[in-house]
Amino acid sequence: MQTENTIQSVRDILKPTRGAGRIIGLVPTMGALHIGHISLIQAAKEQTDFVVVSIFVNPTQFGPLEDFDNYPRPIDKDIQICEQNGVDLVFAPSVNEMYPAKNITWVEVEKLTEPLCGRSRPGHFRGVATVCTKLFNIVQPDIAFFGQKDAQQAVVIKRMVADLNMPLKIVVCPTVREADGLAVSSRNKYLSQEERKDAPLIYQSLSSAEKLIKSGQRQPEKIIEEVKTVIGRSNLLQIEYIEIVDAETLERITRLSGRILIAVAVKFGSARLIDNILVDAS
């Protein structure tokens, strides 16, 4: 496995690889790798011939009061995890390598970035779309792999790729969870012991909602109420949003039908966690 920090060296390595007709897979990450990221690497290994993992904590997707400075950066451990999981190339650039000058060119996906996390994180998806575009231009992958954990991100990136005719496919992999249902996240490290104990309520609330839908409930307000009740069993959790939206347009729905996304964002003190489930309500 090779680890590179510069755009030029990644291009130099990938040119002959592409020339030899090998299918290139990219797994974009911010590092602090866990089993969720590993599941994307495994999917990339199954579906492509040469797997690139990018590790870059992207400053342009963090708001001024967010955790950019404190975000975990265990780079040596990350490289070891990539090596153990059969990654071919790690691209771990510095901020200066990715943004040598103040960035003035942005990729802005409209509409899909307004609801859900877009409301409390202005500029977040602009940063995500821009850095993914840069990574796609640097690596030129045939397939890029994203997690359903960040459902809105996956929808935004898919739409960006379609709208801008980017020559790659986006594959979205299922959310990997701890045994108690908590979605695995680099930010789970921020939870205190007590908070960690209550954190599975997030997925429990989504599972209860799904059960309600399966038993015939089609009124979004009733389902949201159920999610609220389950999350409300902890007084450590503060709800930022609970929304039921169309899985593709991310528009709020008044009556459940087709593929819907139930998405929640909660705060535990300073830690902000998100989770979601896709439900077929047809």
The residues binding ligand AMP (CB under 6 A) are 29-30, 36-37, 39-40, 146-147, 149-150, 173, 175-176, 183-186
Q: Nearest CA to 52 among 88, 79, 19, 80?
A: 88
**Residue 34 among the catalytic residues:** no
In angstroms, the CA 266 to CA 235 distance is 12
Nearer to ligand AMP, 225 or 240 (CB): 240
In angstroms, the CA 245 to CA 192 distance is 31
Residue nearest ligand AMP (C-beta atom): 147
In angstroms, the CA 268 to CA 202 distance is 11
Q: How far is the CB of 278 from ligand AMP (least distance, A)?
A: 13
Which position has the token pair 């921020």? 190
Q: Which residues contact 191 (CB under 8 A, 6 or more apart)?
A: 199, 268, 271
Tokens of 54: 């990018």
Q: How far is the CB of 5 from ligand AMP (least distance, A)?
A: 18
Catalytic site residue from 25, 27, 37, 43: 37
CA distances, 116 to each of 99, 238, 274 (Å): 28, 15, 10
Q: How far is the CB of 62 from ligand AMP (least distance, A)?
A: 11
Q: How far is the CB of 11 from ligand AMP (least distance, A)?
A: 22
Q: Which residues are catalytic?
A: 37
